[in-house]
């Protein structure tokens, strides 16, 4: 690989975005930053833009436009604002790959625009495939676009499949750390606080994904994402709790062989692989030492205590817009938990009730998904108000 890849980072001020820039710092001869976007953190966005000198930046919150523009226009960096601008900027001819690290449903429309513009996708926004996997994968095929997974689990599966794409998969095994409450019962979970739930034992992530991990919803969303990324049936996807987070996921082939991808829990490794594929670039990341991990352990997830994972499997099996309903309800429920409006276990109750009440569509269009998202959010918000 001799030419540099020009990268657009959607969500550059978040956990994945900042780690992506760390990867690019190590390989300035391989990557250049073409676009940076952020929703609210205008100060960090300005700092990043002054360092990496992108062609353009977008601040999602339009009230911060003036501040960002004043700081960057003298440096010949174009400044745009608003959600529509985020979706439009990915169409720029000077972009080679779009890394989508936006949080939740907000990643869907910009990813659709990027695929239609023929951009390669490094996907860190699992909700895009959860909400509209069938449409996204069909669009990618139609436009000759590759989707490279950034989630550590899906990157692990992808890495296990390199050189094996002609061999059918018997099943995949997604590993889960179990989060901070592994082994706890419902009586304990009933009283857990926001602060307890935000302390993940292994990974450094944003608030929303950390809560999802604590409730096992993150693993549920990954199950749905895996179906679309790798063309699997629901029964071909298994989840195993692996507290050490060293084996990131596994693939079992039809001959019974299992391939696993191992490494320390460092998101920069899957980020770099997604950007550099099919090459592996040298890095200075910490190396895994087997002698420091004399035991790697595995156990079944507790689906009765952590109901979100079961709800995700059920939504995937139902199909249609059910995963979209699940995702929307979860985003509202997590926000309410972070705002101390509902308890930890109540999140699952809200999601289940919303799945029962929202309109089910068996073969949704993109417009249907957009409508479903709005309807499900409204139902969950109404349920929260009735409980407060």
Q: Is 177 one of the annotated binding-site residues?
A: yes
CA 99 – CA 102 distance, rounded (Å)? 9
Give the H or E element holding residue 188: helix 186-189
Closest residue by Cα to residue 102 from 119, 117, 120, 90: 90
Do β-strands 247-253 and 237-241 pair in parallel, antiparallel, or remain unpaired? unpaired
41 is in an annotated binding site: yes
Residue 200 assigned to a binding site? yes
Ligand-binding annotation for 308, yes or no, is no
12 is in an annotated binding site: no
Three state DSSP letters for 17-39: HHHHHHHHHHCCCCEEEEEEEEC
Q: Is 15 annotated as a binding residue?
A: yes
Q: Is 152 annotated as a binding residue?
A: yes
126 marked among binding-site residues: yes
How many beta carbons lie within 10 A of that of residue 101, not counting itself?
25
Distance CA 28, CA 30 (A): 5
218 labelled binding-site residue: yes
353 labelled as ligand-binding?
Answer: no
Q: Is 127 annotated as a binding residue?
A: yes
The closest of 267, 227, 234, 235 to 248, measured between CA atoms, is: 267
Tally of CB atoms within 10 A around 352: 17
13 marked as part of a ligand binding site: yes
Rounded Cα distance, 55 and 76, in Å = 8
Q: Which residues are annotated as a binding site for NADPH?
A: 13-16, 41, 125, 127, 206
Q: Which residues are annotated as a binding site for 1-deoxy-D-xylulose 5-phosphate?
A: 126, 152-153, 177, 200, 213, 218-219, 222
Q: Which residues are annotated as a binding site for Mn(2+)?
A: 151, 153, 222
Q: Which residues are annotated as a binding site?
A: 13-16, 41, 125-127, 151-153, 177, 200, 206, 213, 218-219, 222
């Amino acid at each position: 690989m001799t030419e540099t890849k020009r990268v657009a980072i959607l969500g550059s001020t978040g956990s994945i975005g900042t780690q992506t820039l760390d990867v690019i710092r190590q390989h300035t001869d391989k990557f250049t930053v073409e676009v940076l976007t952020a929703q609210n953190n205008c100060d960090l966005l300005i700092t990043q833009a002054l360092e990496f000198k992108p062609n353009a930046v977008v601040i999602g919150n339009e009230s911060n436009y003036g501040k960002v523009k004043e700081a960057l226009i003298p440096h010949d960096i174009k400044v745009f604002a608003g959600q529509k601008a985020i979706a439009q900027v990915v169409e720029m001819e000077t972009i080679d790959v779009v890394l989508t690290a936006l949080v939740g449903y907000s990643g869907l429309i910009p990813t659709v625009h990027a695929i239609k513009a023929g951009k390669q996708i490094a996907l860190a926004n699992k909700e895009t495939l959860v909400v509209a996997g069938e449409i996204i994968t069909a669009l990618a095929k139609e436009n000759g676009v590759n989707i490279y997974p950034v989630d550590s689990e899906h990157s692990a599966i992808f890495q296990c499949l390199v050189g094996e794409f002609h061999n059918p998969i018997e099943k995949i095994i997604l590993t889960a750390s179990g989060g901070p409450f592994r082994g706890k019962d419902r009586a304990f979970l009933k009283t857990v606080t926001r602060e307890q739930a935000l302390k993940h034992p292994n990974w450094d992530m944003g608030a929303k994904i950390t809560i999802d991990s604590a409730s096992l919803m993150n693993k549920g969303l990954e199950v749905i994402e895996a179906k679309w990324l790798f063309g699997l049936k629901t029964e071909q996807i298994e989840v195993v709790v692996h507290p050490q987070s060293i084996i990131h996921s596994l693939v079992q082939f039809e001959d019974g062989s299992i391939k696993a991808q191992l490494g320390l829990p460092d998101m920069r490794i899957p980020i770099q692989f997604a950007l550099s594929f099919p090459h592996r670039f040298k890095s200075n990341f910490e190396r895994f030492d087997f002698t420091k991990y004399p035991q790697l352990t595995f156990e079944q997830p507790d689906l009765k205590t952590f109901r979100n994972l079961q709800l995700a499997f059920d939504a995937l099996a139902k199909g249609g817009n059910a995963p979209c309903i699940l995702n929307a309800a979860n985003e509202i429920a997590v926000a309410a938990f972070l705002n101390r409006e509902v308890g930890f276990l109540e999140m699952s109750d809200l999601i289940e009730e919303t799945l029962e009440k929202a309109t089910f569509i068996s073969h949704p269009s993109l417009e249907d998904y957009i409508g479903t998202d709005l309807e499900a959010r409204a139902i969950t918000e109404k349920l929260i108000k009735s409980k407060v």
